[in-house]
Amino acid sequence: MKLTLTGILAVMVLAAVAGAQEVSAGPMEALKGPVNTVLQILQDPQYDPPEQRQLQRDRIWDVTRGIFDFTEMAKRSLALNWRAFTPRQRKEFTELFSELTAHSYLEQIKGTYTGLAVEFLGEEMLSGDKAMVKTKVRREEVETPVDYRMLQEGGRWLVYDVNIEGVSLVQNYRTQFREILAKETPEQLIQKLKDKLQEQKEELAEAAS
Amino acid sequence: MDSGFTKTAVMLGLLMFLGAGPVPWGCGPAGAAQAEEAAPEEIGDEFLDDDLDFLDEEEQQDIRRVADPLAPWNRLMYHFNDKFYFWLLKPVAQGYKAVTPTPVRIGVKNFFHNLIYPIRLANCLAQGKMGAAGTETERFLTNTFVGILGFGDPARDRLNMLPHDEDLGQTLAYYGVGNGFYIVWPILGPSTLRDSVGFVGDRFLNPVTYVDPTALSIGVSAYDTVNDTSLRIGDYESLKEAAVEPYNALRNAYIQYRQTKVAQ
């Protein structure tokens, strides 16, 4: 009887542990898959021709979207100014901002070299639902530390800031937006983001032609 | 010309000189805040949320703001540096890269890094970082003798001893000296009053400073810069690409980067 009870308990504990692992893998595990997929897409020779660049960008965008919490990033980069935006402006801003950040993050880890490798160094809990995952991006033997700040939402770990060589992307955008919004309206900032994205699209198109 | 500061100011400058495009300070006047009708049926809850509970956490990091009384000069210099990078430094670095194998360029980078060991040692000691000073000394001896005059980095590759990039700017910060204000130097790039003082001080511990004649000394520094740049082509371009307000983006990146260095 005693044995059976212990057995049941043991099974229950094991099940609980297994269950917990299934529901939420750690932040680093959650990040590894998407980052590796992006690396594969980046180094896939099928995207080498310039006319394939847009397709490559779109595919990476699909992966990135699943692991970044862009609303949180947009909010944090606007900080107090978030309140000066109407809900419609917030939505539009978030959409544009996510496109811009995804693109810049990509440019950062891509550079112009092949032989790109990302090494996952470890994770560190910042609070109950926040963590930092440390990585190192290596290309041509030049190493760049890239840290991801992640938060847990509904059991999923999502990135809300990227820190490249000690420089936080969100903080960097915040100083830019703060200065713009000190002189201009939310609508004007949204227009600036549109112009910037248009500029990038034209550059891509130019490279393809 | 070259010192620990080169690893920060110049490298970061080359990395991140942002610029070109219309001068952003002539922006139009602020319009009145717009009262706009929301279309709630299409807007998710997350956009209706006014709660900014992260502000405390983020505000702490905003200490990293810096005074910029020289903004007009700085913006001018930043445009100058941008052109300097695209018209001169980048093409030269690309040409050099085309004819120099990567292992050689990495060796050269290691050599120059090893050479400024006195700067790192002095600043580790000045900050009471005895462990770091010891590691730096071991690294210097290992890389000089086993790594053949510092071209190799066996201390890192085989013994896993990592460098401690301390410089006088960081030492001053350690003793409570603030940034002062932001300043962009031609060619050398972004800096602050404190880091500029540090740069000048560190030069005395840089062997390249004592190369005679001066023209040769400058040539050696320039070569170091070109070599470093050849390993980082594309970084500056990426940063510029990502920025909405490039001048501010670079200024903030420099301040954050230095802050991280100081904290280490």
- Check if A79 contacts B (Cβ < 8 Å): yes
User: A159: part of which helix (H) or strand (E)?
Assistant: strand A156-164
Q: Which of A39-48, B103-112, B122-131, B224-233 has the lowest mean pLDDT?
A: A39-48
Compare all CA atoms of chain B with the CA of A105 and give the residue at the minimum distance. B242
pLDDT bracket for residue B182 (50, 70, 90): very high
Tell whether the model's pLDDT for residue B82 goes beyond 90.
Answer: yes
pLDDT for the residue numbered A12: 57
Task: Quote the mean pLDDT of chain B.
Answer: 81
Residue percentage of chain B with pLDDT more than 90: 56
Tell me if A144 sits within 8 A of A137, measured CB to CB.
yes
pLDDT in tens, B163-181: 889 999 999 999 999 999 9
Contacts of A167 in chain B (CB under 8 A): 252-253, 256-257, 260
Tell whether the model's pLDDT for residue B9 goes beyond 60.
Answer: no
Contact partners, residue A128, CB within 8 Å, separation at least 6: none
pLDDT for the residue numbered B34: 40
Q: Which of A79-93, B53-67, B88-102, B158-172 has the lowest mean pLDDT?
A: B53-67
Tell me if B232 sits within 8 A of B94, measured CB to CB.
no
pLDDT for the residue numbered A192: 93
Q: Are strands B182-185 and A156-164 parallel, antiparallel or unpaired?
A: unpaired
**Alpha-carbon span B198 to B216, nearest angstrom:** 23
Tell whether the model's pLDDT for residue A113 goes beyond 70.
Answer: no
pLDDT bracket for residue B10 (50, 70, 90): very low
pLDDT for the residue numbered A20: 47
Tell me if B31 sits within 8 A of A188, measured CB to CB.
yes
pLDDT for the residue numbered B16: 34
Nearest CA distance, B213 vs chain A (angstrom): 32
Interface of A with B in 34-73 (CB under 8 A): 71
- Check if A129 contacts B (Cβ < 8 Å): no
Tell whether the model's pLDDT for residue B58 goes beyond 80.
Answer: no
**What sign results for the dihedral spanned by CA atoms A178, A181, A183, A188?**
positive
Task: Please state the pTM of the whole predicted model.
Answer: 0.80
Q: CB–CB of B50 and A83 under 8 A? A: yes
Q: CB–CB of B241 and A177 under 8 A? A: no
pLDDT in tens, B132-152: 999 999 999 999 998 889 898
Task: Quote the mean pLDDT of chain A.
Answer: 82
Interface of B with A in 34-73 (CB under 8 A): 34-40, 42-44, 46-48, 50, 52, 54-55, 58, 61-62, 64-65
- Residue B219 CA from chain centroid, whole number: 21
Tell whether the model's pLDDT for residue B35 goes beyond 60.
Answer: no
Q: CB–CB of B260 and A166 under 8 A? A: yes
Is A6 buried (19+), middle (13-18) or exposed (0-12) by CB count in 10 A?
exposed
Q: CB–CB of A179 and B234 under 8 A? A: no
- Check if B214 contacts A (Cβ < 8 Å): no
pLDDT bracket for residue B118 (50, 70, 90): very high
Tell me if B250 sits within 8 A of B190, measured CB to CB.
yes
3-state secondary structure of B5: helix
Tell whether the model's pLDDT for residue A14 goes beyond 80.
Answer: no
- What is the CB-side half-sphere exposure of residue A138 using CA atoms within 13 A? 7
CB neighbourhood size of B5 (10 A)? 27
Contact partners, residue B99, CB within 8 Å, separation at least 6: none
Contacts of A173 in chain B (CB under 8 A): 244, 249
pLDDT for the residue numbered A3: 53
pLDDT for the residue numbered A22: 45
- Residue A49 CA from chain centroid, whole number: 26
pLDDT for the residue numbered B239: 82
What is the separation, in whole angstroms, between the first and last Cα of chain A?
Answer: 78
Compare all CA atoms of chain A with the CA of B50 and give the residue at the minimum distance. A83
Tokens of A90: 């917030």
Alpha helices in chain B (DSSP H): 4-5, 11-16, 55-61, 71-83, 90-99, 102-115, 117-126, 130-141, 154-157, 168-174, 193-203, 214-230, 235-242, 246-263
Nearest CA among A121, A123, A200, A196 for reference residue A159: A123
Tell whether the model's pLDDT for residue B30 goes beyond 50.
Answer: no
pLDDT for the residue numbered A208: 66
pLDDT for the residue numbered B140: 92
Tell whether the model's pLDDT for residue B13 goes beyond 70.
Answer: no
